[in-house]
Structure 1
């Protein structure tokens, strides 16, 4: 009746997209605190959706569909959402707009490159290193840098955040090895995400 591949393996990906759309709406209404919270939640969904998918029995077509859906979800959660948040924070000069275009171009270049790299080479074997920075890390880096706003002057924060955006964009396409998190690293990232989320909720309600 409907096109697409509907199975449990993509549930977390769809949840991440839904949360990202909520975050975009919050950012448009300048509710930066909870928009940033949505970015973190989207990151958690993306961190674990691959592990969940590998636990499911899937056909090769369903695996390929999952790869494409994940990349499209990344565009919403870690490109569109962060850029909307940046604007809601007041980083809306013409120079920042150019930087956001660069950020988006680097992100889609990375996603497109790895989409064609995995085409026809579907494997369940875990990889040890990423080439460059995965776009998912935007959900960890930007909330961390954003916390600087609570302890720094406005001008300093603007400079720090602008530099962070530029560096993240560069790292998306820079061909360097970055260890893939596994085991205790997942627990650390989850604990860090929960800690930041708790602080953001506290700030948002006070």
Structure 2
């Protein structure tokens, strides 16, 4: 009889240990929640006509999204729950929030066409994220293809679609013609997100020649200084540069694909010793 309370106490302690979650598992999820808070706050600020802060919140959400996965891997705190949460958060931060901020700023001047454009962008973001999650499960994909996204990734799409807002901050008149152009541009970015355009991701890591390290550091410092001093000029230039980069990324993908196919054909033609 005396052993029964002892067994109950052991079971209680074991259950308590099972309920405990390491802090390293919580930190990445906390960052994801903060990203959602930033995205939703951006929507509120947009409808309060505090557009610069609204755009800043969307960009902060993108920054937090870029950080949470890396912190999870660094802390070895990645989990299926965190992956699902991150994906759902991306729909809010990079689909809904940019579309509503853009609609409140300029798309509403285009009437129903502006709303349809914002709607298409939000739906394209959902489709793009769903396709990305499915492609992660493809174990037969060649390793080199991990260096490329299929379609413009959601964070980049959110940054690109806000180009009309950056231009508005720089003094471009927000007339009806500009609203219709912004609507068409929004639809274009939506199609780029769900397209098959290969976009270089750099996931395998870039190697920099030793003699280029210092110039690269100075270039990054210069960009950050420009971003701090001429924020909307730098963001507009960054968005345009990303759009210009897309054809070069696609051409690099085709060259790499041709090399891999040639190497595979040569390996098949080589007779076994």
Q: Which residue of 2 aligns with 1:151?
A: 171
Identify if the C-alpha distance between structure 1 residues 168 and 91 changes in structure 2 by more than 3 Å, giving closer, same or farther. Answer: same
Deviation at 1:119, TM superposition (A): 4.3
Q: Which residue of 1 aligns with 2:125?
A: 107
Q: Which protein has the larger Cα radius of gyration, Structure 1 or Structure 2?
A: 2
Of 130-139 and 144-153, more deviation after overlay is shown by 144-153
Deviations 1:142-164 (A, max 9, x none): 34432212232333532442232
Q: What is the rounded CA distance, in whole Å, between the counterparts of 1:197 and 1:138 in structure 2?
A: 22
Q: What is the rounded CA distance, in whole Å, between the counterparts of 2:94 and 2:230 in structure 1?
A: 17
Query: Out of 79, 95, 109, which is 2:113 matched to?
Result: 95
Identify if the C-alpha distance between structure 1 residues 102 and 139 changes in structure 2 by more than 3 Å, giving closer, same or farther. Answer: closer
Q: What is the rounded CA distance, in whole Å, between the counterparts of 2:120 and 2:134 in structure 1?
A: 21
Greater relative contact order (Cα 8 A, min sep 6): structure 1 or 2? 1
Deviation at 1:37, TM superposition (A): 0.8
Length-normalised TM-score, structure 1: 0.77
Deviation at 1:18, TM superposition (A): 1.1
Question: Which stretches in structure 2 are left out of the alignment for 5+ residues?
Answer: 1-18, 207-215, 234-273
Q: What is the rounded CA distance, in whole Å, between the counterparts of 2:88 and 2:230 in structure 1?
A: 25
Could you say what secondary structure the match of 2:79 adopts? helix
Q: What is the rounded CA distance, in whole Å, between the counterparts of 1:196 and 1:65 in structure 2?
A: 39
Higher helix share: 2
Identify if the C-alpha distance between structure 1 residues 196 and 75 changes in structure 2 by more than 3 Å, giving closer, same or farther. Answer: farther
Q: Which residue of 1 aligns with 2:252?
A: none
Q: What is the rounded CA distance, in whole Å, between the counterparts of 1:13 and 1:66 in structure 2?
A: 8
Q: Which residue of 1 aligns with 2:248?
A: none
Length-normalised TM-score, structure 2: 0.60
Kindly tell me the number of residue pairs found equivalent between the two proteins: 191
Q: What is the rounded CA distance, in whole Å, between the counterparts of 1:9 and 1:99 in structure 2?
A: 33
Q: Which residue of 2 aligns with 1:142?
A: 161
Q: Which residue of 1 aligns with 2:136?
A: 118
Q: Which residue of 2 aligns with 1:85?
A: 101
Q: What is the rounded CA distance, in whole Å, between the counterparts of 1:16 and 1:197 in structure 2?
A: 24
Deviation at 1:52, TM superposition (A): 1.3
Q: Which residue of 2 aligns with 1:56?
A: 75
Identify if the C-alpha distance between structure 1 residues 158 and 130 changes in structure 2 by more than 3 Å, giving closer, same or farther. Answer: same
Deviation at 1:42, TM superposition (A): 0.8
Q: Which residue of 2 aligns with 1:46?
A: 65
Deviations 1:11-54 (A, max 9, x none): 32121111111111111212211111101111111122221111
Residue 211 of structure 2 corresponds to residue 191 of structure 1? no
Q: What is the rounded CA distance, in whole Å, between the counterparts of 1:145 and 1:71 in structure 2?
A: 26
Identify if the C-alpha distance between structure 1 residues 197 and 48 changes in structure 2 by more than 3 Å, giving closer, same or farther. Answer: farther
Deviations 1:123-145 (A, max 9, x none): xx993111111111134223443
Identify if the C-alpha distance between structure 1 residues 48 and 133 changes in structure 2 by more than 3 Å, giving closer, same or farther. Answer: same
